[in-house]
């Protein structure tokens, strides 16, 4: 269950419902809806057109890129708009593997020419990382799946000469647990210095920040990462995403997943979805301006709910993944979200997320939820449902 | 220049402008804007969620899929939503090449195991077909690029044992010329019967119908095609697209270009862009209900413009690609758009498109357009502008 407000009611339902599934998707902020609407009316031109209609659309996109970049402390030119987080994550894997292969082929020693790329990840990544690895790269790459305990050290210990990418989510979508990507980033920087001296491939670092953005501050410099995935509909924005690439095209490699017109400098072709991009920019601006308040409010609401659950269900309920300093007294854990860099470690759990187990025999989570008249929550990631082609 | 109304004014400009660049993009129909807005307010749930918010979003998507399918005479289950036409075209190439490779590897004779796939296309395709072929498939496939004269016969003559795909656009974005895809489809059906008897790979047929939809009736059965690309923003819809696949997954192969959640039955993962999908459905419904009127109105307006150009500029202007039965007397060419199947041959030019040359020495097209105070038109496809990565 993940909630960032205590409830949500919609006009089409006679009954007020309590929506607790904000990690599946958020409603759109009124400001975001307004930005999308304004763009549909006023910036409908093709952004590639040389005339005034095109120029107006380009201006909207440039503004949105600035706003997305500002939210994560990035340069605007390092942000590419994409259809969503799934595409962004797939692009990152494609970039790392393609670049590694090119690098191998450029080496004098034939020992490199057929070296298989190696990727390090966790066992708890979203399907948009997990499934490309188990399907597309099942044969052509080696993958190490790590448990989440002792993560930074385990990542470092897993690095091989053929490692091309480490991809670790910033926060888990089901438990809200945050992973120490910044720590990995710092350790990896040291490793990469040594690798450079040894003539080895520079290991790239990616984080899927889909669930973290909008709940805690996310800064690409603090994180020390090369790629970062942004997903609008997880922070009251629209159903598109973006990919941050540090020093896009010169410091960090980028290879398009598909080809077409010259949009996004040819790295992500296809006529830009201007209204959705405008909405993503507006959602990012809201986060940039308000993330500290969001953090405080979400945590307060979530902790209140957890206290109430304990009060009502006692030992029949367990709040999972509770960090040591939160449990039943949220005021005792007044860590400022915008602290010094090293304080990133002390957000072990997203402020909006609750993972809850009920100890009733022979009653499953879905059954409990089916009996809830008002509460809308989930027993896992929404995208695991309604699948036909997962095993192909 | 491509216009489907005689002019367009926007609230942000004090001067009424004449927009003649509808092949670059169209504004959104008011009904489409309304559908997008309604969906943002009421169907923002994650379509994969099991609760009511999810169900409402699923219902919107199902309705849109029905409407898109009806527009092209297809079954709803044969339609996959995608981020746009560029993605759809790239997916088609990926499907054909992947399926051909799998088929080759399944053959007993080792002669097939390293057979390179062969693709037939034209020299005038959109970059979303042309550039994947020249970049992604430059090494791994053989491609035949045909001139547009004598197309059906030339296509048939180019087929080799290794041919896996024919991709020919339904109408050209710059000239409006329509290609005889239906004719190719009928001839290919005969060829494929013979190939089946000979144990050869069934040649797949794709058409990028981006420019044709909304201007002339498009029916997948008439066309006899396996894949058809749909692009919303070319027919007053939003900036997403769809791909029609005949007998998706059982008659015609489909392989996802990327992996993730189970959306679109796993064939196109990524949380669905419900508002844009709703808009695409509404735009498709409008086309389904009104395409005959659109055709008549567009042709009348376009032909009026061409007559006026001739009247003002005389022999200094040339209207290109004029079909024999239209020139200066549109009433003499009263071909009903919804005629018997064989009448598809007699729409040689889209009703909304004008390709015009001016014979003034040392004056280029862009220079002429820069001097136009009111008219917004283009000298070619918009997506050729602002390119950085085309040659990579």
pLDDT at A12 exceeding the cut of 70: no
DSSP string, B318-371: EEET--TT-TT-GGG----SS--GGGGGG--B-TTB-EEEE--TT--HHHHHHT
Contact B379, A51 (CB under 8 A): no
* Interatomic CA distance for residues A69 and A230, integer angstroms: 10
Does position A26 have pLDDT exceeding 60, yes or no?
A: yes
| Contact call for residues B170 and B207 (beta carbons, < 8 A) | yes
Q: Rounded to whole angstroms, how far apart are CA atoms A244 and B196?
A: 48
Nearest CB to A233; choose among B249, B271, B366: B271
Question: A52 to each of A59, B18, B25, B271, B302, how far by Cα in Å?
Answer: 11, 11, 13, 33, 22
* Residue pLDDT, tens place only, A290-324: 999 999 999 999 999 999 999 999 999 988 887 54
Of B14 and A23, more confident? A23
Strand partners, B320: B355
- What span, in angstroms and rounded, lies between the C-alpha atoms of A64 and A81? 10
Tell me how far apart the terminal alpha carbons of chain B are, to the nearest angstrom: 30
Phi, psi of A292 (to 5 degrees): -65, -45
A95 catalytically annotated:
no
pLDDT at B55 over 60: yes
Q: B371 pLDDT exceeds 60? A: yes
Residues of chain B with Cβ-Cβ distance to A41 below 8 Å are: 11, 33
Flag whether pLDDT at A5 surpasses 50: no
CA angle B57, A63, B373 (to 5 degrees): 105
Q: Cβ separation of A257 and B257 shorter than 8 Å?
A: yes
Residue scoring higher pLDDT (B96 or B379): B96
Residues A223 and B332: their CA atoms lie apart, in Å, by 69
User: What's residue A236's pLDDT?
Assistant: 98
CA–CA separation, B225 and B231 (whole Å): 17
In B, which residues are within 8 Å of A84 by CB distance? 270-271, 273
Rounded Cα distance, A387 and A389, in Å: 6
Average pLDDT, whole number, for chain A? 88
Give pLDDT, residue B103: 97
* Residue A149 confidence (pLDDT) above 90: no
Q: Which of A343-352, B144-153, B293-302 has the highest mean pLDDT?
A: B293-302
Per-residue confidence (pLDDT) for residue A9, from 0 to 100: 41
Domain B52-283: top CATH class: alpha beta
For residue A273, the tally of other CB atoms under 10 A from its CB is 28
Average pLDDT, whole number, for chain B? 88
Distance from chain centroid for Cα B230: 5
> With 70 as the cut, is the pLDDT of residue A23 above it?
yes
Distance separating alpha carbons of residues A186 and A196, to the nearest angstrom: 16
Work out the end-to-end distance of chain A between its first and last CA atoms, rounded to an integer number of angstroms.
30
CA B13 to chain centre: 31
Check residue A320 and give its pLDDT: 85
- B149 falls in which pLDDT band (50, 70, 90)? confident
CB atoms within 10 A of CB B193: 11
The 10s digit of each residue's pLDDT in A159-204 is 999 999 999 999 999 999 999 999 999 999 999 999 999 999 999 9
**Contact criterion met (CB < 8 Å) for A389 and B265:** yes
Max mean pLDDT among A46-60, A338-352, A355-369, B285-299 falls in B285-299
For residue B192, give both structure tokens: 């494929």
Q: Does A98 have pLDDT greater than 80?
A: yes
**Edge-to-edge strands, sheet with A241-245:** A79-82, A241-245, A227-231, A204-208, A163-167, A118-122, A142-146
pLDDT the model gives residue A205: 98
Predicted pLDDT of residue B373: 82
Q: Identify which of A51, A128, A269 has the shortest CB distance to residue B86.
A: A269
Residue A389 has pLDDT above 50, yes or no: no
Q: Give percent of chain A with pLDDT exceeding 70.
A: 87
Helix B151-158, helix B181-197: angle, nearest 10: 20
Residue A122 has pLDDT above 70, yes or no: yes
Question: A234-248, B79-93, B126-140, B312-326 — which is least confidently predicted?
Answer: B312-326
Q: Which residues of chain A are within 8 Å of residue B378 when distances are taken between CB atoms?
A: 49-51
Q: Please give the residue of chain A at the shortest CA–CA distance from B135.
A: A259
Sign of CA dihedral A180, A183, A189, A192: negative
* A340 burial type by CB count under 10 A (0-12 exposed, 13-18 middle, 19+ buried): exposed
Residue in chain A nearest B83 by alpha carbon = A83
CB-based contact B274 A384, cutoff 8 Å? no
Residue of B92 and B12 predicted with greater confidence: B92
Q: Give mean pLDDT, residues B285-302.
A: 97
**Binning pLDDT at 50, 70 and 90, where does residue A249 land?**
confident
CB-based burial label for A226 (10 Å; 0-12, 13-18, 19+): buried
Distance from CA of B216 to the nearest CA of A (A): 22
Question: Residue A10's pLDDT is what?
Answer: 44
Structure confidence by residue, pLDDT tens digits, A341-372 = 433 334 489 999 999 888 887 788 888 888 88
The pLDDT assigned to B331 comes to: 39
In CATH terms, the fold of domain B18-27+291-384 is: 3.90.1150
CA distance B148 to B121: 10
Other C-beta atoms closer than 10 Å to the C-beta of A105 total 11
> Would you kindly state where each structural domain of chain A is located, as residue ranges?
52-283
A166: enclosing H helix or E strand: strand A163-167
Structure tokens at B52: 């009511």
pLDDT of residue A360: 81
**Contact between B179 and B171 (Cβ < 8 Å):** yes
Flag whether pLDDT at B16 surpasses 90: no
8 A C-beta contact, residue A165 and residue A119: yes
Q: Which pLDDT value is given to residue A323?
A: 56
For the ranges A211-220, B251-260, B276-285, B383-392, which has the lowest average pLDDT? B383-392
| CB-based contact B385:B24 (threshold 8 Å) | no
The answer to whether the CB atoms of B90 and A51 lie below 8 A apart is no
Sorting pLDDT into bands at 50, 70 and 90, what band is B382?
A: low
Q: Is the dihedral of CA B60, B64, B70, B71 positive or negative?
A: positive
Q: Mind giving me the DSSP string for A74-126? A: --GGGEEEES-HHHHHHHHHHHHHHHHHHHHHHSSSGGGTTPPPEEEEETT--
Length of chain A: 392
Give contacts of B384 with chain A, Cβ < 8 Å.
Answer: 48, 261-262
Please state which of the ranges A163-177, B152-166, B289-303, B311-325 shows the lowest mean pLDDT.
Answer: B311-325
Among A89-93, A320-324, B382-386, the least confident range: B382-386
> Is the model's pLDDT at A238 over the cut of 60?
yes
* CB contacts, 8 Å: B127 with chain A: 259-262, 269
* Rg, chain B, Cα only: 22
What is the 8-class DSSP label of residue B111? G
Tell me what pLDDT residue A343 has: 37
The answer to whether residues A232 and A276 touch, using CB atoms and an 8 Å cutoff, is: yes
pLDDT over 70, % of chain B: 87
R_g over Cα of chain A:
22
DSSP string spanning B145-171?
EEPSTTHHHHHHHH--TTEEEEE--SB
Residue B349 token pair: 């030019």
Contact at CB, A262 and B385, closer than 8 angstroms: yes
Of B27, B46, B366, the CB nearest to A24: B46
CA distance A214 to A351: 10
Q: Mutation test of the interface with chain B: which of A8, A260, A375, A388, choosing the one with the most B Cβ atoms within 10 A?
A: A260
């Amino acid at each position: 269950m993940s909630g960032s407000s205590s409830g949500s009611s919609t006009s089409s339902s006679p009954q007020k419902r309590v929506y607790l599934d904000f990690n599946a998707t958020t409603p759109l902020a009124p400001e975001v809806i307004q930005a999308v609407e304004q763009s549909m009316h006023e910036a409908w031109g093709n952004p590639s057109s040389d005339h005034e209609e095109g120029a107006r659309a380009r201006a909207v996109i440039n503004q949105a890129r600035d706003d997305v970049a500002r939210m994560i402390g990035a340069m605007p030119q390092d942000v590419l708009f994409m259809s969503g987080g799934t595409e962004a994550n797939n692009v990152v894997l494609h970039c790392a593997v393609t670049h590694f292969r090119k690098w191998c082929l450029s080496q004098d020693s034939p020992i490199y020419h057929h070296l298989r790329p190696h990727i390090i990840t966790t066992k708890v990544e979203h399907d948009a990382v997990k499934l490309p690895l188990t399907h597309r790269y099942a044969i052509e790459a080696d993958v190490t799946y790590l448990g989440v305990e002792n993560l930074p050290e385990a990542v470092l210990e897993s690095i091989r000469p053929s490692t091309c990418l480490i991809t670790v989510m910033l926060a888990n979508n089901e438990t809200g647990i945050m992973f120490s990507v910044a720590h990995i980033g710092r350790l990896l920087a040291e490793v990469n210095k040594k690798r450079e001296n040894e003539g080895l491939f520079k290991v790239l670092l990616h984080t899927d920040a889909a669930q973290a953005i909008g709940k805690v501050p996310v800064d690409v410099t603090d994180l020390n990462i090369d790629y970062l995935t942004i997903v609008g509909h997880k922070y009251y924005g629209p159903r598109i995403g973006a990919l941050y690439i540090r020093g896009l095209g010169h410091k960090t490699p980028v290879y398009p997943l598909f080809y077409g017109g010259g949009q996004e400098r040819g790295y992500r072709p296809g006529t830009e979805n201007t209204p959705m991009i405008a909405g993503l920019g507006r959602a990012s601006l809201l986060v940039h301006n308000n993330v500290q308040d969001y953090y405080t409010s979400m945590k307060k609401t979530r902790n209140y709910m957890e206290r109430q659950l304990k009060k009502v269900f006692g030992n029949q309920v367990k709040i999972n993944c509770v960090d040591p300093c939160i449990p039943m007294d949220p005021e005792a854990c007044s860590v400022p979200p915008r602290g010094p860099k090293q304080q990133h470690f002390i957000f072990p759990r997203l402020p909006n997320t609750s993972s809850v187990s009920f100890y009733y025999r022979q009653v499953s989570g879905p059954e409990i939820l089916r009996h809830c008249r008002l509460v809308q929550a989930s027993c896992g990631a929404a995208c695991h449902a309604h699948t036909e082609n997962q095993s192909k």
